[in-house]
Amino acid sequence: MDAAVLTTPAVLILLGPPGAGKGTQARMLEEKFDLVQLSTGDLLRAAVAAGTDAGKAAKAVMEAGDLVSDEIVIAILRDRLGEADCAKGVILDGFPRTTVQAQALDDLLTSTGQKINAAISLEVQDAEMVTRISGRYTCGGCGEGYHDSFKQPATAGTCDKCGSTDMKRRADDNAETVASRLEAYHAQTAPLIAYYDGKGALNTINAMGQIDEIAQGLNDIVTSAMA
Ligand SMILES: [Zn+2]
């Protein structure tokens, strides 16, 4: 079915741990389906900059050093969903984070005649993810990327491209940090996954494959969810 026949904009939720390629896939969906990706940080910044009522409320809370309440985020989201560029639909990234927020989002969408078309969980195998992320390093000379397991330079420690021996690793790419990031992600996301599964809106996709394969799987899910 052509997306143009939709009477209400699609609402997709993208869930995935750091390193699962969520940003890349969200950009693909934006282009392919004319959607807009909305992250909580971007929403807040834009609302504060625009000086909307909800934006002013958020600014006051943030200036006081407090966390912006769910009510304010929902109010900002309500304003944003009404803007012209969201006419085809949105991809929510980083919101909701809790089932309380998910319920509030459902209430908002009910009031606007919308619903969650699909919650899509990018699934990773944790042990393999730790290997992938913790093995990464880059040449400090030219920025070429390398990997302990998948892409070693011809001469250990020397860049194939520029000959530099200045190899850099991100401090937070070590195995322990990556494992604990994944653990925190699962702990935070499990209730949300159960929530959307209970509503029949959950779709899972293996995020460990080739980028093209993942994109194709997402494409199928979104095509079907927007039909
Ligand atoms: Zn180099």
| Cα 24 to ligand 1 centre (Å) | 25
The predicted-structure confidence for 152-210, as pLDDT tens digits, reads as follows: 999 999 999 999 999 999 998 899 999 999 999 999 999 999 999 999 999 999 999 88
- pTM > 0.75: yes or no: yes
Measured in Å, residue 28 CA sits from the centre of ligand 1 at 29
Residues 97, 23: Cα–Cα separation, whole Å: 17
Exposed, middle or buried: residue 173 (CB in 10 Å: 0-12, 13-18, 19+)? middle
97 annotated active-site:
yes
Query: Considering the chain, what is the average pLDDT of its residues?
Result: 92
Whether the predicted pLDDT of 52 surpasses 60: yes
Write out 25-60 in H/E/C secondary structure: HHHHHHHHHCCEEEEHHHHHHHHHHHCCHHHHHHHH
CB-based neighbours (< 5 A) of ligand 1, an ion: 139, 141-142, 144, 159, 161-162, 164
Q: Tens digits of per-residue pLDDT, 127-155?
A: 999 999 999 999 999 999 999 999 999 99
Determine the pLDDT at residue 7: 56
- Centroid of chain to Cα 146: 25
Is 181 among the catalytic positions?
yes
Q: Which amino acid is at 44?
A: L
Query: With 50 as the cut, is the pLDDT of residue 4 above it?
Result: no
Q: What is the DSSP letter of 137?
A: E
Reported as a pLDDT band with limits 50, 70 and 90, residue 9 is confident
Taking only the tens place, the pLDDT of each residue in 16-41 is: 998 888 888 999 999 999 999 999 89
How many other C-beta atoms can be found within 10 angstroms of the C-beta atom of residue 11?
A: 25
Q: How far apart are the first and last CA of the chain?
A: 5
- Side chain identity at residue 72, one-letter code: I
* Residue 11 structure tokens: 């609402």
pLDDT single digits (tens) 66-103:
999 999 999 999 999 989 999 999 999 989 999 999 99
Say if residue 21 is exposed, middle or buried (CB neighbours under 10 Å; 0-12, 13-18, 19+). Answer: middle
